[in-house]
């Protein structure tokens, strides 16, 4: 069995803490994930667990706007795109699930982009 590194253990701990806090929310969840090269965001219905809409730096509209996909500008573009799709589905208020990632850098840029796009959380 593989050992879990200290950084992975701390990330899992933050992620579970965030999930426990968001279990009580009735708002749709804006969940984000970041990898070394890309940013992913989706809006999930908390009651059914179904994805209502999703955007990433791999999406056609976002990829055309930004050259590099692993930077703050790309994360902000993903935030603006997810807000636009959410408003089309008449979703205005969400709960932000940062998925255990620390709120700075690309995660903060995604949140700021979603707020600029019209989502409130």
CATH number at residue 34: 3.30.420.100
pLDDT beyond 80 at 2: no
- Taking the C-alpha atoms of residue 67 and residue 92, their distance in angstroms, rounded to an integer, is 29
Residue 45: its pLDDT value, please?
93
Residue 3: its pLDDT value, please?
82
Residue 19: its pLDDT value, please?
87
Q: What is the pLDDT of residues 23-56, one digit of tens each?
A: 888 899 999 999 999 999 999 998 898 999 999 9
State the total domains in the chain.
1
In a domain, 59, yes or no: yes
**Mean pLDDT to the nearest integer, 5-15:** 91
Ramachandran bin of 70, using left for φ above 0, alpha for ψ from -120 to 50, beta for the remaining angles: alpha
In a domain, 1, yes or no: no
pTM of the model: 0.88
């Amino acid at each position: 069995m593989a050992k879990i590194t200290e950084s992975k253990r701390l990330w899992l701990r933050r992620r579970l803490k965030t999930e426990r806090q968001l279990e009580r929310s009735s708002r749709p969840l804006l969940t984000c994930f970041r990898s070394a090269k890309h940013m992913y965001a989706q809006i999930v219905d908390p009651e059914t667990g179904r994805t209502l809409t999703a955007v990433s730096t791999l999406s056609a509209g976002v990829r055309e706007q930004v050259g590099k996909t692993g930077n703050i500008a790309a994360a902000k573009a993903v935030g603006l795109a997810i807000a636009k799709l959410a408003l089309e589905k008449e979703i205005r208020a969400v709960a932000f699930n940062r998925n255990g990632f620390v709120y700075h850098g690309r995660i903060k840029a995604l949140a700021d982009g979603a707020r600029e796009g019209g989502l409130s959380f």
